[in-house]
Structure 1
Amino acid sequence: MMQTDRSHGWDGELLDLDAYLARIGYEGERAPTLGALRGLHRAHVTSIPFENIAAVLGEQVALDLPALQEKLVHGRRGGYCYEHALLFAAALERFGFEATGVNGRVTLGAGKANPPTHALLAVRAADDERLWLCDVGFGSGPLEPVEIRDGAEAEFDGWRFRMERRAGVFGVDEWWLHQRKEGRWEDRHTFVMTPVSPKDWLMGSHYVATHPRSPFVRRLYAQTFGAARHHTLDATTWTTYLPDGSSTERKIEAAELGRVLAEEFRIVADAASLARLRDGLDSA
C-alpha cells in the first residue's frame, strides 16, 4: 500500500547550526526554552534583512534548506517571509521546539481579504504552556514572539503589538496581529490556526515571486529592523521609522544603490545583480 507523506518536518538535520547562530550573533543556551525562543527570534529579526532581489530580477527563489543556507547564511543576503520562516523553523527544530507553520493574509489596515501569502510559525517552548507567534519574515518585527491570546499586548524597545481573536466562518477563529502606529492600532495581518507544511508554502512563494500582480516582481523592496529603527527601501525611496512613530524619507540615486544596500541594509549583491537593479531604477 502506498504510504501518505504527512511530514511537517523542517529539515533541521540539514542546517549548519553553528554557521546560522554565528550569522545572527546568538550565543545563548541551545535548549527549547522560552528564553531561548525570545533570544533566537530577536537575533534573527535584527540580523538577516528582508529583500526581494531574486523575485524582482525574475530569478528562481529556492526554498530547500541548502539553498536557503547558501543565500541567507553564507551569502550575506536576505529574503522574504517564506525564506526566513523556513530557515528559522529548521533552527527551532534543531533546538527541540514544537513549531507549526500557518498562513497569514497581509492587511496593513486595508480591511480586505488578501491571498494567504505570508509565512508564520506557531511555537511552543518546553518550559512554557503558552502558544507564541513567531513572525521573523515580515521585515518590521516584532523583535520577539507575541503570545497567541486574545488581547495579548507586547512591547519591545518601544515597538508595540497586540493580538486579537475574531469569530470566523464555520467556527474557525481568526487571529489578527496589530501594530501601534502614529497613536493608533493598525491591523497588520490575519491568520487561522490551520497547520501547513513546507510543501504548502511552495505554492504561495511561487505566486509571490512570479505572478504579475505580485508587488515583489515589480520593484525592489528591502528592510532592516532593530530595536532603535526600521529602514525600508522601496525602489528609490529610503524611509527610516522610529518606535515613537516619527519617520524620515529621502530619495537615492541609482548609483548609490550598492552602497546603501551594503552599508544600511546589510545586503551584499553581486555586481551583475546590482547592474540589473540599477537599470530597473533608472527606467522606473
Structure 2
Amino acid sequence: MSMLLGVAGTGQDDDGWGSAALDLDAYLARIGYTGDRKPTAATLRALQHAHVTTIPWENVDMFLGLPTRLDIPGLQQKLVTRSRGGACSEHTTLFAAALEKLGYPVTALQGRVRMGARKRRPATHNLLRVVADDRIWISDVGFGSSPLEPLELQEGNESTQGAWHYRLTREADLWILHSHRDNTWIAVHAFTEQTRYPVDLVVTNHYNATHPNSPFNTRLLAQHVTDNRLVMLDNTKLMTVTPPADRTDRTLEPDEVAQVLDTTFGIKLNKDEAAKATKKLTLPAT
C-alpha cells in the first residue's frame, strides 16, 4: 500500500499502534518526562504537556516532497533521535504508541479543521480517544497550537491551560473543539466518535503530503506552543503570539529560515534539507 500511495505506511496492525517497536525510555527522555508511568489521568495530562511543548509541529518533509513515514521505527528516528518535529499523523501515531505501551486504551478519531473556513474541508485531522480513571479524554497533540492537556469528553467542558482556553460543544453527532482567541471563541475542528485505525492515518497523511489542494506540500510551516506563547512560521513569515492579544511578525530572508527552525523551534535540518528548503523558498510563488 505504501508504494501505491507514495507515502510510507505504518507497519502496524490495524488495531494496534506498534508500541512493541517503541523505545519508551528514549521517547520519554526526548520529551523530558520523568514522572509516574501508571496509566492515570494525571499521567496523561503530564505526558501531553511534555509532548506538545517539546516536539514541534512541522511539515519540512512534505514541503520538500520527501516520504513521511508512520511506522514506529521511522517516527522514532525522526522525532526522537534526530530532534525533528512532525505533522499531525506523525505526532498522533507516536503519542498513541507511547500511550499504548504505558497501558492506556487508545483509539484514533478524525476531524475537519474549521478555523474560520467558509466551506467544508476534508477530514484530515487526527486526534486520540483515551480512557483513564474510567473517563474518556480527547488527546490532540498534532494540531500545532494543540491543547497542552487532554480534555474530558463532556459537552460544555471548558479547560484553562496556561494562557490558553478551550471548550467542547456538540452539533448533532459532531464534537467541536473551540479555542478562545482575541476575546471570542473560535471553532478549531469538528470530530466524531467513530473509531479510526492506524491505516486510516496513512490515508490522511498521504492527502496532506501529496494532494494539490493540500497547503502542507506548498508552504513551509512550523509551530511550537508553550504555556504562554505560540510561535508560527509560514514560509518566511515568523509570528509570535502571546495571549491575550499580543502578536509580533517578522519577515525572514530564505537563508535565515533553517537557522530559525533550529534556534526557535528546535527543528534540526541536515545540510541537504536546509539547502533544499532555502532554494524552494527562494523560488517565485506559483
Scaled to the shorter chain, the TM-score interval is over 0.9
1:95-150 deviation line (CA, Å, top 9, x unaligned): 1111110011101022532111011001111xx22211101010102100011111
The alpha-carbon deviation at position 258 of structure 1 amounts to 1.9
- 1:251-270 alignment runs, 5 A limit: 251-270=251-270
**2:165 aligned to which of 160, 175, 191:** 160
The alpha-carbon deviation at position 243 of structure 1 amounts to 2.4
Structure 2, unpaired ranges of 5+: 1-11
Pair 1:206–1:6, CA change in 2 (3 A): closer
Aligned to 2:208: 208
3-state SS, counterpart of residue 134 of structure 2: strand
* Matched residue type, 2:111: G
Asked if the contact 2:14–2:199 (Cα under 8 Å) also holds between the matched residues in 1, the reply is no
- 1:216-231 alignment runs, 5 A limit: 216-231=216-231
- 1:131-210 alignment runs, 5 A limit: 131-167=136-172, 173-210=173-210
The alpha-carbon deviation at position 279 of structure 1 amounts to 1.0
* Matched residue type, 2:272: A
The alpha-carbon deviation at position 209 of structure 1 amounts to 0.3
- Runs of at least 4 residues off by over 4 Å: none
Pair 1:273–1:6, CA change in 2 (3 A): closer
Asked if the contact 2:110–2:127 (Cα under 8 Å) also holds between the matched residues in 1, the reply is yes
User: Aligned-residue CA RMSD in angstroms?
Assistant: 1.2
Aligned to 1:248: 248
* Matched residue type, 2:162: D
The alpha-carbon deviation at position 269 of structure 1 amounts to 0.4
Aligned to 1:170: none
Asked if the contact 2:89–2:142 (Cα under 8 Å) also holds between the matched residues in 1, the reply is yes
Asked if the contact 1:149–1:165 (Cα under 8 Å) also holds between the matched residues in 2, the reply is no
Aligned to 1:108: 115
1:28-76 deviation line (CA, Å, top 9, x unaligned): 1011001100000000000001110111111111110000000000011
3-state SS, counterpart of residue 103 of structure 1: strand
* Matched residue type, 1:157: G
Asked if the contact 1:57–1:277 (Cα under 8 Å) also holds between the matched residues in 2, the reply is yes
Is 2:40 the partner of 1:29? no
The alpha-carbon deviation at position 6 of structure 1 amounts to 7.9
* Matched residue type, 1:138: F
Q: TM-score, normalised by structure 1?
A: 0.94
Q: Tell me, in whole angstroms, the C-alpha distance in 2 between the residues paired with 1:27 and 1:134.
A: 20
Asked if the contact 2:164–2:228 (Cα under 8 Å) also holds between the matched residues in 1, the reply is no
- Paired-residue identity, %: 46
Q: Tell me, in whole angstroms, the C-alpha distance in 2 between the residues paired with 1:166 and 1:28.
A: 37
1:132-187 deviation line (CA, Å, top 9, x unaligned): 110101010210001111100000112000100111xxxxx100000001000000
1:166-211 deviation line (CA, Å, top 9, x unaligned): 11xxxxx100000001000000000000001101111111010011
Asked if the contact 1:8–1:196 (Cα under 8 Å) also holds between the matched residues in 2, the reply is no
Q: Tell me, in whole angstroms, the C-alpha distance in 2 between the residues paired with 1:259 and 1:110.
A: 32
Q: Tell me, in whole angstroms, the C-alpha distance in 1 between the residues paired with 2:17 and 2:159.
A: 28
Aligned to 2:77: 70
3-state SS, counterpart of residue 144 of structure 1: coil
Is 2:104 the partner of 1:120? no
Pair 1:30–1:254, CA change in 2 (3 A): same
Paired residue total:
273
* Matched residue type, 1:118: H
Structure 1, unpaired ranges of 5+: 168-172
Please identify, of 110-119 and 154-163, the stretch whose mean Cα deviation from structure 2 is larger. Answer: 110-119
Asked if the contact 2:127–2:139 (Cα under 8 Å) also holds between the matched residues in 1, the reply is yes
Asked if the contact 1:107–1:187 (Cα under 8 Å) also holds between the matched residues in 2, the reply is yes
**2:46 aligned to which of 13, 17, 39:** 39
Q: TM-score, normalised by structure 2?
A: 0.93
